[in-house]
Amino acid sequence: MPATNAPTTNSQLLNWVEEIRAMTAPDRVQWCDGSADEYAAMIQLAVDAGLAIQLDPAKRPNCYLFRSDPSDVARVENRTYIASRTADDAGPTNNWIDPEALKSTMRGLYKGCMAGRTMYVIPFSMGPVGSPIAKIGVEITDSPYVVANMHTMTRVGSKVLEVLGADGAFVPCLHSVGKPLAPGEADNGVWPCAPLDSKYISHFPEERTIWAYGSGYGGNALLGKKCLALRIASAQARDEGWLAEHMLILKLTNPQGRVHFVAAAFPSACGKTNLAMLVPTVPGWTVQTVGDDIAWMKFGADGRLYAINPEHGFFGVAPGTSSKSNPNAMKTIERNTIFTNVALTADRDIWWEGIGYDPPAGEVVDWKGKSWDRKEVAAHANARFTAPASQCPAIAPEWEDPAGVPISAILFGGRRPGTIPLVHQARSWQHGVFLGSIVGSEVTAAALDLQAGTVRRDPFAMLPFCGYHMGDYFAHWLRIGETPGAKLPKIFMVNWFRKTADGRWLWPGYGENSRVLKWVFEQCDGTGQAVQTPIGNMPAPGALDAPAGVSADDLAELLKVDREGWQREIADVREKHYPKFGAKLPKALWDELDGLQARLA
């Protein structure tokens, strides 16, 4: 049946919806309005299908647990494609397939794939509805789980269609779990998805289109998140002169009431969400959250970069989140939260490794739905919570300002036990782009593809998320720095993860990282005390207050210029990292590498 009673006159959208309906053959079409009743209905559908469990309403009001298929638990990098017109546009760090060949394959999979299901049409805004920095997407999906999560993670509904109007542009996002139902068939408690070799997460950057098939989980299915907000948006940002970045956004307020906003990029497992919701230990200072994962930045009339958090919720990793590591996250997820692949306690509450307390007495059911035998993990390592950002106790009042917030500083960081000091400041914008381009984390014995102790580079923490050639991406950042009249943020590199030779942490991290943020703030304010070094500006003696337990010797080690370590770093970048980008690596970055080597000599 054609899509009748559509709440829009946008002919491009109506034609697309009808094209997809004809291809996927759903039983019915439902346009999503973003209402609380609609959210409740999606959750109830999942409960009735045996795919969701209501948690104890007295402990966690309006909270539900889902368990996905063991083959469908995380982003699938090897099934994620940037189908630009040429392989050279995608670059060496993305998987490329010819776009026409990929569409032909996927059309075959999509044919009749929604049989027995409802096709949901989700109009959504990334960013405050109507913001000049925001973008509109429309996701078609056959998953009530996706609809419910998109309600939390984006702004859904009729207000979005009002802004879209009769001829507005949108990003078409097509998703199916890839599990059609025969007449009379139901999911019967089995998470619907397709086999791994039939999963596709495909991006067509020139067309601004996303096609996903076969996975119902996370960023593979919530197409506003990494797919639109980073992979497609990064290509839009390159073409339109702005930045779409894998960055948190913080508001820092000093005891005198002065404010600076900071954006920060970290690879996974480097404490990004913890920093986004940090509780400072420095008396009189306040840290508030604008965003925990993604920042879109455009120049304002005053020449400053203004950032919005394009998301509306948090899709956070649960294991390791505790009242010690992230008390604000723990308060955020007390209600109105979807949990995926965590453990279920006998009293119908959630539990995971690193939550900070032992599970209560009685049977614990693990993420696979089996009685936990204590031999394997109870919660999957990538178990998640989906919670409204508005519930975070530290949410900044400006977090939904359509104009965005002015960014004073950008931080880059990785997990490095040696060489990279606790904090240093770039000498210039170009030097800051160089620092972003060499970000990396030292791999542990758990990584199968690299030798322990080697550095896995993740430039700008964007390696899995850049929708085009990263050499061109570096060049775009350099061009941003040449914008006439620009008042650019200062750029810093931080590293909370320094260790001694015997494995002792040199820095306590968590809330104590506010001491580093205080120095960053002072550098932005022009009141900081710094010394020039071959690698950049560093805190002058006495400029950084050491927390209890960090001795003067520890602090000296944390702020030392390790010349031998940096020479090894330069050799690694020169021989193994930069050559990957070929002729597209900007000469300016080679010049920065040569300049650093000369200053260290």
pLDDT tens digits, residue range 52-69? 999 999 999 999 999 999
Q: pLDDT tens, 536-549?
A: 999 999 999 999 99
Q: Kindly report the number of other CB atoms within 10 A of residue 147's CB atom.
A: 26
Judge whether 292 and 248 are in contact, CB under 8 Å: yes
Judge whether 449 and 78 are in contact, CB under 8 Å: no
Mean pLDDT of 171-195: 97
Domains 11-50+77-241 and 244-309+399-600 share a fold: no
pLDDT, residue 452, reads 63
CATH topology of domain 11-50+77-241: Phosphoenolpyruvate Carboxykinase; domain 1 (3.40.449)
Closest CA to 414 of 460, 452, 453: 460
pLDDT, residue 61, reads 98
Q: Three-state DSSP class for 227?
A: helix
Show the beta-strand stretches assigned E in 526-587: 530-533, 536-539
Q: State the Cα–Cα distance between residues 458 and 430, nearest whole angstrom.
A: 18
pLDDT, residue 5, reads 80
pLDDT above 90: percentage of residues in the chain: 96
> Which amino acid belongs to residue 414?
G
Token pair 């990334």 is found at 126
Mean pLDDT of 311-323: 97
Q: State the Cα–Cα distance between residues 201 and 176, nearest whole angstrom.
A: 11
- Catalytic residue chosen out of the listed positions 113, 227, 270, 466: 270
Mean pLDDT of 168-190: 97
Q: What value does the mean pLDDT of the chain take?
A: 96
> Which amino acid belongs to residue 417?
P
Q: pLDDT tens, 115-135?
A: 999 999 999 999 999 999 999
Q: Is 270 a catalytic residue?
A: yes
pLDDT, residue 447, reads 45
Mean pLDDT of 269-298: 96
Per-position DSSP letters for 59-116, written without gaps between them: TSTT-EEE---TT-SS--GGGEEE--SSHHHH-TTS----HHHHHHHHHHHHTTTTTT
- 111: its two tokens: 């044919």
Q: pLDDT tens, 461-485?
A: 999 999 999 999 999 999 999 999 9
Mean pLDDT of 160-170: 98
Is residue 448 scored above 50 in pLDDT?
A: no
Greater model confidence, 450 or 403: 403
Q: Which long-range contacts (CB under 8 A, 24 or more apart) does 352-355 make?
A: 352/318, 352/319, 352/321, 352/378, 352/379, 352/383, 353/319, 353/320, 353/377, 353/378, 353/379, 354/319, 354/320, 354/321, 354/322, 354/325, 355/318, 355/319, 355/321, 355/322
Assigned CATH for 244-309+399-600: 3.90.228.20
Q: Kindly report the number of other CB atoms within 10 A of residue 335's CB atom.
A: 16
Which residues does 102 contact at the CB level (< 8 Å), separation at least 6?
81, 83, 200, 202
The pLDDT confidence band at residue 1, using thresholds 50, 70 and 90, is very low
Is residue 3 scored above 80 in pLDDT?
A: no
Q: pLDDT tens, 85-111?
A: 999 999 999 999 999 999 999 999 999
Mean pLDDT of 315-341: 97
pLDDT, residue 454, reads 84
Token pair 């178990």 is found at 383
Cα dihedral 339, 343, 345, 349, rounded to 10, equals -20
Domain range annotation of the chain: 11-50+77-241, 244-309+399-600
Is residue 444 scored above 90 in pLDDT?
A: no
Judge whether 306 and 265 are in contact, CB under 8 Å: no
Radius of gyration of the chain (CA): 24
The pLDDT confidence band at residue 2, using thresholds 50, 70 and 90, is very low
Q: Kindly report the number of other CB atoms within 10 A of residue 7's CB atom.
A: 13
- In DSSP terms, 175 is beta-bridged to 212
Q: How far is CA 1 from the centre of its chain?
A: 38
pLDDT above 70: percentage of residues in the chain: 98
Closest CA to 146 of 186, 178, 170: 178
Judge whether 75 and 219 are in contact, CB under 8 Å: yes
Token pair 């339109």 is found at 240
pLDDT, residue 198, reads 96
